[in-house]
């Protein structure tokens, strides 16, 4: 397992969303203004933060289409330790876990009004929504399990129908991520403590998961997060403990490990990959490197079966817990937990290369940027 640059009191003192104003270089206030009818409307974003680190909870806003600057519209402190967020398939509902011993998952409107808060288990760190919109899955790092919650007709989260505890010998399970495969047929749980990816099938009527296969990665590798190639034939696993990425073939519910590459050059600095993302065309893979504070840029080969690291530029902050490509694929956003910032870098879609950091938003305890 692992808040915005001002405390809540400071935010109120200087006047609402304008307190989140710190875009690097220009010094302009990053608050959404009125836009002309002929301009491209900005895409929305959400930011989850750790309140114990000074975070404001959940922040919402829009991305300026020209500069990529996050334009903050509002925030809520109603969800503490909101370290992971997800939206409904239509984008009309936001879901947020609260990473605490007595963990919860909250249902919110796009304007961050809390509709319902549902208990889920110990130490949740990730939430994913099935593309059918009828179930939601939570990874319990503290509880070492995957929890299945039905989604009610109004979009709110109902009590759990299934909790699958992970076990392997006498080792301690730490479920860190749940991913639904590109076809929506399987649910993959990445367990950092057991060095496993466990694949489940969802029994839709009962809301239960049944195990299909187990993929064991190198002992001590600490698989954290997984991302699929858009063609669906390969997946890439970022391993936190040994600072590697494993390329896996994916066929009929079975992951088969293949090539293993270093997430960052070996320099003597302890490095722990945080997040992994794949470009929409499948040509490039990006990994956030906590420790070296870089972004590993990889080019795919053989239709996704191999990776070649081509660059490792600075993330512009400290401890990049999460990264995300925007919907255009032209910018990469990074949530830097320890420096309390969100940075963004331009992406060359043809080469996959990243430009210099284009801006910085103060965001204490930054955990995840959802764009």
DSSP 57-110: SEEEEEE-TTT--EEEEEEE-SSTT--EEEE-TTSS-EEEEE-SSSEEEEEE-T
Predicted local distance difference test score (pLDDT) of residue 40: 59
287 and 315 in contact (C-beta within 8 Å)? Answer: no
Which tokens go with 209?
A: 């998961």
Among 163, 183, 160, which Cα is nearest to 231's?
A: 183
pLDDT at 2: 54
Q: Which residues of 224-243 are buried (b: 16+ CB within 10 A; e: fewer)?
A: bbbbbbeeebbbbbbbbbbb
The reported pLDDT for the residue numbered 183 is 94
Q: What is the pLDDT of residue 151?
A: 98
How does 24-50 read in b/e, with b if 16+ C-beta sit within 10 Å? beeeeebbeeeeeeeeeebebbbbbbb
Q: Given the DSSP bridges, would you call strands 254-262 and 272-278 parallel, antiparallel or unpaired?
A: unpaired
User: Quick check: 293 and 339 in contact, CB under 8 A?
Assistant: no
| Residue 206, Cβ density class (10 Å: 0-12 exposed, 13-18 middle, ≥19 buried) | exposed
CA 280 – CA 66 distance, rounded (Å): 20
**8 Å CB contact between 354 and 297:** yes
Task: Provide the whole-model pTM.
Answer: 0.91
What six digits make up the tokens of 210? 């049944």
Q: Are 239 and 221 in contact (CB under 8 A)?
A: yes
Closest CA to 1 of 101, 99, 118: 99
pLDDT at 343: 98
Round to whole Å and give the CA distance between 211 and 188.
10
In 3D space, the residue among 108, 95, 100 whose CA is nearest the CA of residue 149 turns out to be 95
Q: And the tokens for 274?
A: 């945080």
Each residue's pLDDT tens digit in the chain (371 positions)?
653 333 222 232 223 333 343 333 333 223 333 333 345 567 999 999 999 899 999 999 999 999 999 999 999 999 999 999 999 999 999 999 999 999 999 999 999 999 999 999 999 999 999 999 999 999 999 999 999 999 999 999 999 999 999 999 999 999 999 999 999 999 999 999 999 999 999 998 899 999 999 999 999 999 999 999 999 999 999 999 999 999 999 999 999 999 999 999 999 999 999 999 999 999 999 999 999 999 999 999 999 999 999 999 999 999 999 999 999 999 999 999 999 999 999 999 999 999 999 999 999 999 999 99
- pLDDT of 19 reads 37
Tokens standing for residue 232: 């669906």
DSSP 196-208: EEEEEEEETTTTE
CB contact at 8 A, 368 and 57: no
What does the pLDDT read at residue 42? 77
201: its two tokens: 């099938």
């Amino acid at each position: 397992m692992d808040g915005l640059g001002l405390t809540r009191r400071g935010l109120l003192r200087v006047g609402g969303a304008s307190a989140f104003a710190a875009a690097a270089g220009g010094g302009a206030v990053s608050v959404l203004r009125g836009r002309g009818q002929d301009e491209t409307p900005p895409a929305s974003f959400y930011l989850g933060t750790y309140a114990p680190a000074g975070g404001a909870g959940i922040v919402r806003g829009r991305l300026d289409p020209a500069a990529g600057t996050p334009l903050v519209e509002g925030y809520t402190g109603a969800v503490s330790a909101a370290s992971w967020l997800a939206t409904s398939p239509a984008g009309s509902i936001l879901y947020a876990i609260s990473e605490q011993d007595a963990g919860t998952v909250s249902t919110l409107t796009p304007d961050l009004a809390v509709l319902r808060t549902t208990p889920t288990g110990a130490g949740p760190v990730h939430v994913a929504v099935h593309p059918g919109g009828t179930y939601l899955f939570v990874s319990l790092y503290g509880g070492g399990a995957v929890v299945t919650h039905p989604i009610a007709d109004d979009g709110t989260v109902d009590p759990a129908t299934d909790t699958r505890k992970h076990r392997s010998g006498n080792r301690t399970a730490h479920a860190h991520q749940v991913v639904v495969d590109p076809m929506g047929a399987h649910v993959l749980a990445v367990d950092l403590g057991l060095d496993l990816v466990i694949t489940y099938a969802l029994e839709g009527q009962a809301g239960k998961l049944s195990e299909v296969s187990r993929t064991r990665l190198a002992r001590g590798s600490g698989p954290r997060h997984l991302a699929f190639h858009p063609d669906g034939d390969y997946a890439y696993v970022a391993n936190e403990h040994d600072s590697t990425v494993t390329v896996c073939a994916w066929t009929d519910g079975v992951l088969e490990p293949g090539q293993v590459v270093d997430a960052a050059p070996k320099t003597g600095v302890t490095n722990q990959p945080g997040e992994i993302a794949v470009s929409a065309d499948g040509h490039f893979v990006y990994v956030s490197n906590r420790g070296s504070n870089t972004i590993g840029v990889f080019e795919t080969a053989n239709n996704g079966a191999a990776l070649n690291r081509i660059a490792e530029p600075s993330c512009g902050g400290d401890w990049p817990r999460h990264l995300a490509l925007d919907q255009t694929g032209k910018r990469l956003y990074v949530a830097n937990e320890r420096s309390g910032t969100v940075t963004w870098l331009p992406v060359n879609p043809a080469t996959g290369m990243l430009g210099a950091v284009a801006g910085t938003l103060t965001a204490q305890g930054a955990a995840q940027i959802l764009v």
